[in-house]
Structure 1
């Protein structure tokens, strides 16, 4: 199948722009305010978005085997809030993403990806003791739970940093050092690369948000992925962070089983959006 090419020039310009923008959040939380807020945060909470969406391909014929549903379940458990060295805290996460062929006769699950991790986090403050960023170091495992030639898995040590880059715009920069991944998927990094950038912009608070995720594979070709999302809250209030979500994924590596396959999928559905980085929205 012909590879879907990413616009590398535009991607490079975007990445350079993101890295050179200064933090301009003038209403950042102070250290004491954030510590008070963290103390009230539940030990068990949503980690990444929890959603159920369905849609069709834009790069191939639409039929029962190409249209599908995708859902994700993700949660986080804080293990300790007590004083640890360097004011860090430890937590567990679990994310499960599934691709479900609901338009086929037997409703088969095409691929299920399991992603547990253990992580240590630290809040970063500026010289005025105001929130500047959140740094995380984690040990992750991701696999599809299959055996034989369908087995896909990899492990990685990941470093993640989240900060404001513009007013109402939060970016997360993530890099990883993979290990124990060559059995079953030796060329995986050609499609996933060694990191990703995620940018979220709030157009109307609690109403409309945009999200963009970028990955570039370890190659000189257009392998990688672009995932864009639009969130819209149709309700009068949004106590539970409930939205309708439109997602467009282009590239490779959306799921582990056929990570080499080029996809262009547009999907729509329901999401309970994570409130993981709410402090970066300011007061």
Structure 2
């Protein structure tokens, strides 16, 4: 009899405690949706603390800690989006027409499904070891790059059709008038196919149509169009990305850089190695000419954690070294040795 009473008491306490947990989770979720992240996190932490002490919940410590960490990361990532959303809900007058209301919300929240593509970075200081006429050896370099997925699964292979745009600019901030010396523009349309065979080192491949130009005319004009095939391999922590391209021929009178393949060749190879909070990337390019005409380039990029007191989430220190040809289009036939340091806003 005493044993039965004890079981009833345990069942009642456990049920009551479980209901309280459910209520607290619901309360935390409401705080989170309303953008009151601090209050939400306090509840999540208390739930984790209580759950770890009570064996009747049958929740493992590691599982709870993982859940809490994921919650914290999610809140940090969604905070800006939530703030925009809350601003729309609280500050913008209600519009009766549903389609118009959706349009206004999209314009204010800025949720257009854009993603980073290549690394977005700012190198306030770069130094070219070689002195060239008409430019200072110190300058600022930055890159902006985004991707917009257009449609999915056209061929039933789970592929993605995307548009991407990348801009790399060279800014002579050390000169009095601080002119932009060069900007290179790369719009492209590409298909990315996942490789579905299990236990294969090949993970995906991409087919792309790429245009590249520097937006200038006359003697400074540079442009070319390429089709390229890129593959993605993984060997534990090492990612290997070979790429081969075919230059689309142009009429001779319109060709600004007839011999560009003499310097850039027909492909490149990228080696990417993440280690803890660091990433190491090595890009190699060579024209594969076994003579005095052999030309190539090496670029090394390192991203590393910034000091915590800077409070710059999802930003990293960025170190870059380049040696060889075609750091920029205007210099495709010039040998460049450049070093720079700054901040990466994506990777």
For normalisation by structure 1, the TM-score amounts to 0.74
- For residues 170-189 of structure 1, the aligned pairs below 5 Å read 170-180=239-249, 183-189=255-261
Q: Which has the higher contact order (CA 8 A, sep 6+)?
A: 1
CA RMSD of aligned residues (A): 2.4
Give 1:218 shift. 5.3
Tell me, in whole angstroms, the C-alpha distance in 2 between the residues paired with 1:265 and 1:187.
Answer: 23
Tell me, in whole angstroms, the C-alpha distance in 1 between the residues paired with 2:285 and 2:327.
Answer: 11
Tell me, in whole angstroms, the C-alpha distance in 2 between the residues paired with 1:224 and 1:131.
Answer: 27
Tell me, in whole angstroms, the C-alpha distance in 2 between the residues paired with 1:127 and 1:57.
Answer: 46
Asked if the contact 1:97/1:114 (under 8 Å) is kept, the reply is yes
Bigger mean CA deviation after superposition, 211-220 or 102-111? 211-220
Q: Answer yes or no: is 1:233 the counterpart of 2:302.
A: no
Q: Which SS does the other structure have where 1:125 is aligned?
A: coil
Give 1:85 shift. 3.4
Q: Answer yes or no: is 1:103 the counterpart of 2:174.
A: yes
Q: Which SS does the other structure have where 1:85 is aligned?
A: coil
Q: Answer yes or no: is 1:200 the counterpart of 2:265.
A: no
Query: Aligned to 2:234, which of 164, 170, 173?
Result: 164
Query: Aligned to 2:225, which of 155, 158, 166?
Result: 155
Q: Which runs of 5+ in 1 are unaligned?
A: 1-41, 275-283
Tell me, in whole angstroms, the C-alpha distance in 2 between the residues paired with 1:123 and 1:113.
Answer: 30
Q: Which SS does the other structure have where 2:332 is aligned?
A: coil
Asked if the contact 2:121/2:343 (under 8 Å) is kept, the reply is yes
Instruction: Number of aligned residue pairs: give it.
Output: 228
Tell me, in whole angstroms, the C-alpha distance in 1 between the residues paired with 2:182 and 2:154.
Answer: 41
The verdict on how the C-alpha distance between 1:131 and 1:224 changes in structure 2, with shifts beyond 3 A counting, is: closer
Give the structure with higher Rg (CA): 2
The verdict on how the C-alpha distance between 1:203 and 1:241 changes in structure 2, with shifts beyond 3 A counting, is: same
Greater share of strand: 1
Tell me, in whole angstroms, the C-alpha distance in 1 between the residues paired with 2:131 and 2:216.
Answer: 27
Q: Map Cα deviations across residues 58-117 of structure 1 (whole Å, 9 max, x no partner).
A: 3459x9711111110000000113453333220100000011111011101111100000
Q: Answer yes or no: is 1:74 the counterpart of 2:145.
A: yes
Tell me, in whole angstroms, the C-alpha distance in 2 between the residues paired with 1:191 and 1:83.
Answer: 37
